[in-house]
Amino acid sequence: MSAPTLDPRVTERRNPRTADIDLASPLAIVDLMTGEDRGVVDAVVSQREPIARAISAIETAFRSGRRLLYVGAGTSGRLGVLDASECPPTFGTNPTMVVGIIAGGDHALRNPIEGAEDSPVEGAAQMDVHHVQAGDVVVGIAASGTTPFVRGALLRARELGATTALLACSEPPPAMRDAADILMLPIAGPEVLTGSTRLKAGTATKLVLNMLTTGAMIRIGKSYGNLMVDLRATNVKLQDRAERIVCEVTGLPRDDAHTLLQQADGRVKRALVMHALQVDAATADARLADVGGVIRKLLPQAPPTVPVTATGA
């Protein structure tokens, strides 16, 4: 009998450490899965330099008024859409600034669309639908490194002049590598369940996407220290956070912070500049525009930190 042919994709290989997981107790399953997950962070750390290059490319795009677009299928596509959808409430961005594209369209977010990922032509077409152009950054997300929809999108995006990047958790073939200007390959090994890339590959992907948008947003001034000063107070929780940030930075009592935020039309960054420079909203906006929106250039001192009280001491 001939030896079985091994799939070159790491995500499709069998994991010898979990070969008997179907006999495991609930606690043993938890131990097996957490043991596997420990290696995910190391896989991401191994890609620190290309991830940093991608952050720089995205920062450049944002500063020139261009966009970040994620393209993926299945779990990879859903994670891209998730990360994109979190940017407006977290950073106060326009929803068109970070766009998530999933093979099969929005219906595929909740329902599997058979064969949607197999068409490079449809991937390319989506780049035209979304009017990709020079200055944009298109990040293809493909856990297996082989998704045709993603390959078609990246090749078309490059033709249109965009910067392209690939995030994959298995070594991509030459055709896929050649479609990307930046390769981010956090390869964490075979999955707990063979081929189930919503597990380690999904975790690695989420970690990298967190870094891409958070890193680029920080670089363009969406934070003051580690405070989210461009958040949109769209619910009670975020309104509370906005007021707490103003209180913490300015030392104002809660009622005064609430009043200041009202005068700043709910914009935390504007409120902080108004208070620090003793100016009105329009002047605060003008001063921020002069420094590219980076509040630290107007308020050089780091925001004060509240000491963390140890528990259980």
Do 164 and 136 form a contact (C-beta atoms < 8 A)? no
| 122 given a catalytic annotation | no
Give dist(CA 92, CA 94) in Å, integer.
Answer: 7
**What are 162's two structure tokens?**
């965009």
CA atoms within 13 A on the CB side of 266: 11
CA distance 71 to 152: 10
Q: Do 149 and 122 form a contact (C-beta atoms < 8 A)?
A: yes
**Cα-to-chain-centroid distance, residue 271:** 27
> What's the rounded Cα separation, in Å, for the pair 250 and 6?
61
Hey, is 65 helix, strand or coil?
coil
CA-atom Rg of the chain in angstroms? 22
Neighbour order of strands in the sheet with 98-102: 98-102, 68-72, 137-141, 163-167, 182-184
Q: CA of 256: how far to CAs of 81, 260, 281, in Å?
A: 38, 6, 16
Catalytic residue among 36, 59, 117, 243: 117
Q: For residues 160 and 134, is the Cβ–Cβ distance under 8 A?
A: yes
Active site residue 117: yes
12, 86, 171, 248: which is the annotated catalytic residue? 86
Catalytic residue annotation: 86, 117
